Amino acid sequence: MIGLDTNVVVRFLTQDDSVQSPIASRLMARLTRERPGFISAIVLAEIAWVLSRAYKASREDIARAVEGLLRSAELIVENAPAAYRALGLYTASASAEFADALIAETAMLAGASEVATFDKSAATELGMRLLR
């Protein structure tokens, strides 16, 4: 297994750098079920954030990218059950951030009774408890 950093996956997904994108693509093409790539939950959250902020990707494009990573047989995503649940919340919401959805679902699957936040949108869209 080989761990993948956010910048490698983003270069692979966006194909926007004439030097780094082909290198990332070659690495990704060499991944197999026997020697998969590993994407941590932090990297998955960063990918969604970078695609949204730096690339101005639509929510639909971000959801497709995350789902593609989750479904890839050559990738292992840390806490995939939480990531799938977060993806469902993200796609059902008009404004929730994927990272916030992942935070909420990871906590709930870990046994949290609630997730406290100061983020009004996360409280409204994701059912977190708004602290006042």
Please give the model's pTM, rounded to 2 decimal places. Answer: 0.93
pLDDT exceeding 70 applies to what percent of the chain? 100
| pLDDT score for 84 | 98
Q: Do 27 and 68 fall within a single domain?
A: yes
Q: What is the pLDDT of residues 87-130, one digit of tens each?
A: 999 999 999 999 999 999 999 999 999 999 999 999 999 999 99
Q: Do 70 and 97 fall within a single domain?
A: no
Q: Do 23 and 54 fall within a single domain?
A: yes
DSSP states of the chain: -EE--HHHHHHHHH---TTHHHHHHHHHHH--SSS-EEE-HHHHHHHHHHHHHTS---HHHHHHHHHHHHH-TTEEETTHHHHHHHHHHHHH-SS--HHHHHHHHHHHHTT-S--EES-HHHHHHH-PEEP-
Looking at 78, 103, 124, which one is the last position of a domain?
A: 78
Q: Do 58 and 101 fall within a single domain?
A: no
Instruction: Give the count of domains, the chain.
Output: 2
Q: Do 15 and 50 fall within a single domain?
A: yes
- Averaged pLDDT, 38-55: 98
Q: How confident is the model at residue 46 (pLDDT cuts 50, 70, 90)?
A: very high
